[in-house]
Structure 1
Amino acid sequence: MFRKFRTVLAAAAFIVATYAAAAEMSGAHPDTYVVKKGDTLWDISGKFLKKPWLWPEIWQANPQIKNPHLIYPGDVISLAYLDRVAVQPGPRQDAPIGAIPLSDIEPFLKNLRVTDSFEQLPRVVGLEEDRLRSSGGQLVYTVGLEGAQVGQRFAIVRPTLRYTHTRFVSNGRYATYKEDLDFRGKRLGSQTIDWERNWNSAALDTGPQLELLGYELAQVSVGTLTRGVVPGSDASTLVLEGNGHEVRVGDRLIPVEAQPYDLQFFPHVPKVLQPEGKLQIAAVADALTSGGPRDVVAISGGSREGIDNGTVFSIWRQGSHVIDRQHDPEDSRLTETRPNSRTRAGGSDHVLPDEYAGHVMVFRTFEKVSYGLVMEGTKPARVGYALKHPDATY
């Protein structure tokens, strides 16, 4: 339903204005770099900086650059000096390189959102000629739009996922859990995969401190209100636009927003530190078990945790909790891999170090859930992997 993301942060170049920033240079680098069509800021930063997510700070240290975020293919970036950045303008024939190509992330920016509840939303109660499905140009009948104006546009959405979060009292570890929903928003069960949405999440245990993080709503179509409630009826009438998926009874409605998302993204470190293991990958888009660079993941945290668009995290596989068979060959337990457990259960148990997997940058934030783009990595990023400060080393 939604195509896989082939994006990375966009745009251009940098040099350091202070020796502190210079320390982040990755070593030998050319005196100049010519920006190419298709370049991204993260990619270019990765060539010359140890920490690609620091590029906004470097640009801010160079106020002589009038607009450092408008870099064009053909621009020549000077990397020869540590005390200034020089940009020689190119032909300016192509569009500037943006932070993230909006055409690639549009499905997640426009067609998906996370909300605390959906039952109270206006809903579709009938379709033209009592059809089972309706598409572009056809009428749908709704309730709950009292007071809406004729001509107002509404997004028709459908609940698809339910996110929950659990903290276990016994060992203090966290688990994030995703369940697929049917078209009515009813839970399908932990093992069911919605192949049309094609997210995947591990079936993790629930516990006494279960918290609802939100419901994901997917936009299926857009309709325009053509008639309000008339005598003898209690339903309003909408006509569906030509693009979109089929609408069915039970779908919900929300007003169309002109621009509900950011147009530019500038990476930065988290503003608020969270307890170890609290932030996790909750789901992966377009994959069954794991994701890699340029894939999209859902994160079990949002604005409530101080996360905003551009926040960068490192992704870590939690160290396994293993049994030392050599020390105690009579131990009959099976080998365990218990993430987030930092206490040894016995003398023959060992907790292995966490393993670095990659970096992810948030591009859409809700109160308790965020969407992020995996920027780069050394191994697949899986559901349940923990998120830490981008500079974390263990």
Structure 2
Amino acid sequence: MLKQLRTVAAVALLTVTTYAVAVEANGTHPETYVVKKGDTLWDIAARFLKKPWLWPEIWQANPQVQNPHLIYPGDVLSLAYLDRVTPQGQVEPGPRQDAPINAVPLSAVEPFLKNLNIVDGFKELPYVVSLEDSRLRASAGQQAYVRGLPDTQPGQRYMVVRPTVRYGQPKPSDDLDARGDATRFSGNLWKSYVASSDRSELLGYELAQVNLGSVTHVAAGEAGVATLLLEDSGREVRAGDRLVPVQAQPYDLQFIPHAPNTTLADGDIRVLAVTDTFTSGGPRDVIAISAGARDGIDNGTVFSIWRSGRHVNDQVAGMASSRADDALKHGAGRVAMPDEYAAHAMVFRTFDKVSYALVMEGTKPARVGYKLKHPDAQ
């Protein structure tokens, strides 16, 4: 599930297109820059642009770079366009001894493109009812017994998936047990989370792939228990895991960073979860956010992440108190503080009501409950 997966994907997996935008230089800059090992497109842009999410402008000004996926350590990029001077030189090739800086193996992003999915429901899916030798867990080479596959045939392959998280609002997420029900009291972590709207809505269930298997036998009779031979030694299967047919999934690896296509109300989109951590994450961490295709969000959408301004007690003009007062809501004697910028994030996979985004860079951790704004928000 999202909390158990962490991407080490460099932001350089992105593909660019040429489009005109107004950019501002971030202070002084050289006329050229030599690409170094470990660079990413975002990092290079952050050195020279006030808005690093506009890094495609660099490649627009270097038309000699025919394929951004083939920029190597040692390549020389022209930055003269920042002074609106037409570049005179050509991109100088590097030694080509290292891998391209933005050639990201599929395995680096595979967990989020292949192994995770967000669905509206799962209770109707076939499920593992027991395991070989009445085991509590099973892995490759062992058998799982499945109910709900009456029409399957020997040889048919399935993914074994596990419902792990329920996303919703105003409470962002609940951990799920083996039955797929919310774990009791798991929502207590989010008791200080307050959404801007009063709506209460299920956003979806996260299904994480835990194994693969092939049907070897289907029992006759009303129960219709099918035998599934497990193939993957990665994660163990348990009773209650669900099954979905194995299907080829096309992966979108071409992301063009851009501002949201639609205007969204302030605070309507929130951070629902952070991968591998409890409540917060930083650059190269993946977050789940409470917006998706229905909200006009698509791959490449860039947001800025903000801590909601608190409402504090004015100790001078208001009532004196020794009690810390850092509330999320208005109240008598409280003064509203401004929102605080935390980071930028870019969406790389979108579902109907939920999306996964990669935290690019920031000045402080991005936390569950933080709100998302336009990338240029001040």
TM-score range, shorter chain: 0.7 to 0.9
Answer whether contact 1:99 1:265 (CA < 8 A) is retained: no
Percentage of identical aligned residues: 57
Work out the CA distance in 2 between the residues paired with 1:59 and 1:32.
Answer: 13
* Alignment-derived partner of residue 127 in structure 2: 123
Match of 2:11, SS state, is coil
Of residues 357, 360, 366, the one that matches 1:375 is 360
Match of 2:108, SS state, is helix
Cα distance, 1:354 vs structure 2: 0.7
Of residues 156, 163, 166, the one that matches 1:159 is 163
Change (3 A) 1:377 1:151: same
Cα distance, 1:282 vs structure 2: 1.1
* Alignment-derived partner of residue 267 in structure 2: 277
* Alignment-derived partner of residue 326 in structure 1: 316
Match of 1:304, SS state, is helix
- Deviation track 1:305-357 (CA, whole Å, cap 9, x = no partner) reads 1112221111111111122232233689972421xx5xx544x3311111111
Work out the CA distance in 1 between the residues paired with 2:133 and 2:322.
Answer: 66
* Alignment-derived partner of residue 97 in structure 1: 101
Whether 1:186 aligns to 2:190 is no
* Alignment-derived partner of residue 51 in structure 1: 51
Change (3 A) 1:157 1:328: same
For structure 2, which runs of at least 5 residues remain unmatched after alignment? none
Of residues 286, 295, 299, the one that matches 1:309 is 299
CA RMSD of aligned residues (A): 3.2
Aligned length: 370
Whether 1:266 aligns to 2:256 is yes
Cα distance, 1:101 vs structure 2: 5.2
Whether 1:357 aligns to 2:359 is no
Work out the CA distance in 1 between the residues paired with 2:141 and 2:173.
Answer: 35
Work out the CA distance in 1 between the residues paired with 2:266 and 2:34.
Answer: 41
Answer whether contact 2:342 2:365 (CA < 8 A) is retained: yes
> For 1:142-291, what aligned pairs fall within 5 Å after superposition?
142-148=146-152, 150-166=154-170, 176-191=171-186, 204=193, 209-230=199-220, 234-291=224-281
Work out the CA distance in 1 between the residues paired with 2:220 and 2:258.
Answer: 53
Match of 1:269, SS state, is coil
Work out the CA distance in 2 between the residues paired with 1:71 and 1:122.
Answer: 47
Change (3 A) 1:201 1:37: farther
Work out the CA distance in 2 between the residues paired with 1:13 and 1:278.
Answer: 29
* Displacement over 6 Å in runs of 4+: 11-14, 205-208, 330-334
Answer whether contact 1:178 1:203 (CA < 8 A) is retained: no
TM value normalised by structure 1? 0.82
Task: Tell me the amino acid that sits aligned with residue 9 of structure 1.
Answer: V
- Deviation track 1:79-117 (CA, whole Å, cap 9, x = no partner) reads 245334842233434433337554333323332221111
Cα distance, 1:385 vs structure 2: 0.8
Work out the CA distance in 2 between the residues paired with 1:320 and 1:208.
Answer: 19
Task: Tell me the amino acid that sits aligned with residue 120 of structure 2.
Answer: D
Whether 1:134 aligns to 2:138 is yes
Match of 1:87, SS state, is coil
Cα distance, 1:129 vs structure 2: 3.1
* Alignment-derived partner of residue 10 in structure 2: 8
Cα distance, 1:295 vs structure 2: 1.9
Work out the CA distance in 2 between the residues paired with 1:44 and 1:13.
Answer: 15
Change (3 A) 1:190 1:66: same
Match of 2:70, SS state, is coil
Of residues 83, 103, 106, the one that matches 2:86 is 83
Task: Tell me the amino acid that sits aligned with residue 371 of structure 1.
Answer: Y
Match of 1:53, SS state, is helix
Change (3 A) 1:214 1:158: same
Match of 1:216, SS state, is strand
Task: Tell me the amino acid that sits aligned with residue 77 of structure 1.
Answer: L
Work out the CA distance in 1 between the residues paired with 2:172 and 2:13.
Answer: 36
Answer whether contact 1:137 1:239 (CA < 8 A) is retained: yes
Change (3 A) 1:362 1:100: farther
Work out the CA distance in 2 between the residues paired with 1:33 and 1:318.
Answer: 38
For structure 1, which runs of at least 5 residues remain unmatched after alignment? 167-175, 194-199
Match of 1:106, SS state, is helix
Answer whether contact 1:4 1:285 (CA < 8 A) is retained: yes
* Alignment-derived partner of residue 197 in structure 1: none
Change (3 A) 1:299 1:183: same
Answer whether contact 1:9 1:99 (CA < 8 A) is retained: no
Match of 1:263, SS state, is coil
Match of 2:133, SS state, is helix
Work out the CA distance in 2 between the residues paired with 1:233 and 1:324.
Answer: 67
Task: Tell me the amino acid that sits aligned with residue 311 of structure 2.
Answer: H
Change (3 A) 1:45 1:229: farther
Cα distance, 1:8 vs structure 2: 3.5
Change (3 A) 1:148 1:203: farther
Cα distance, 1:78 vs structure 2: 2.4
* Alignment-derived partner of residue 37 in structure 2: 37
- Deviation track 1:13-40 (CA, whole Å, cap 9, x = no partner) reads 99x997x64x422232223222233221
Work out the CA distance in 2 between the residues paired with 1:361 and 1:17.
Answer: 18
